[in-house]
Amino acid sequence: MENRIKNSYIYSFINNKKYLNDFIKIVTKCLIDNKATKTVCIDYHRLREELVFYKYYGKKNEDYIYDITYILPIILSNINLERSQDEVIKNISYYCKLYKENVKNYDYMIVGISYNFLIHTLILNKDIDFKELLQNIKEHVIGFTFDEDIDKKDIIKFERSRIKFIQKIDKCIDEKIEELKEESIVDGFFSVIYQVYVKDADENNQSLLSLKNSILGILGFEFKSLNILDLNFIQSLADYILRLRKYEINKKEYTQSTHPRELIDLNIGQSIYNPILNNITVIDKNIKDNMLYIKVKSKSGEYEFEFKKSQ
């Protein structure tokens, strides 16, 4: 089981979408375990600072329609289905606000609930039948209720998304996948499940490929070669996920504060400790086209920060 959990995490990086892969790593770094409450959750103070840093060294996300595997670290690190689901919902709401997707966030929420249920189910029983799995997901979504009070208008939006999801899962159960052609996270989710269980096909969307590979990993499939950037670091994060499941890290909440601009005064060869990047060394620094570029090296890899010269 542990090997399948590790492979599910590692295989989610077999895609060509750097932003999504970076976000999966960031979410993993922001997880904190609590043995007393038997939970693993996101430290949102740390996540906010991680994203500030990412603005200076990362890639823009040009297409986020099918992004969902950024919640995989939450799912795999939590043993309890319901506690995992609660944290998945929080994280999806946070992600949707980043991209001002409040109108569609209930579609993502329902897919997140379903993805969480699917992975937890397959961890325990990887041999479950395709139609039984979908029927169980359907019943789980139908039975879902919010723990806290929400506005009536939000309940209406959620119910609309739930009805649409149930209609589409019935089509998938009946293997009428050709009727699910909408450019949406819901249709993409069912398309991937259909590929895994019924009729395989090349998945060209990189976000959905990440989703597909994560499911193949938890089912026990093994890839002969892994074309993954910084593979050793990703494998260490997979081991970290397993330790979080056992509440062995006992990670404390992030209470520090830092900003990428603190790197500007550093010189090549200088090493410092940074709360977000840990121990880093400046390996390059140059100015080009009114931009200052600072490249640093850490245990997790190399990062090139970009600053406008006026900063």
Tens of each residue's pLDDT in the chain, 311 residues? 999 999 999 999 999 999 999 999 999 999 999 999 999 999 999 999 999 999 999 988 878 889 999 999 999 999 999 999 999 999 998 888 876 655 457 899 999 999 999 999 999 999 999 999 999 999 999 999 887 667 777 788 889 999 999 999 999 999 999 999 889 999 999 999 999 999 999 999 999 999 999 999 999 999 988 989 889 999 999 999 999 999 999 999 999 999 999 999 999 999 999 999 999 999 999 999 889 999 999 988 899 999 987 64
Question: Across-strand partners of 297?
Answer: 281, 302
Write out the two tokens for 149.
Answer: 């009070």
Rounded to 5 degrees, φ, ψ at 279 are -75, 125
Q: Residue 178's closest CA among 206, 205, 198?
A: 198
pLDDT of amino acid 101: 59
Segments making up each domain of the chain, as ranges: 2-245, 260-308
63 contacts: CB under 8 Å, gap ≥ 6: 207
pLDDT of amino acid 100: 61
Q: Residue 237's closest CA among 1, 15, 22?
A: 22
Question: Across-strand partners of 302?
Answer: 297
pLDDT of amino acid 122: 98
Cα gap 184→166, rounded to integer Å: 15
Write out the two tokens for 270.
Answer: 């200088």
Cα gap 194→208, rounded to integer Å: 12
Q: Residue 46's closest CA among 35, 37, 54, 38?
A: 54
Integer CA distances (angstroms), 71 to 8, 28, 112, 200, 284, in order = 12, 9, 8, 24, 34
Pairing of strands 278-288, 39-42: unpaired
Helices and strands counted in the chain (H then E): 11, 6
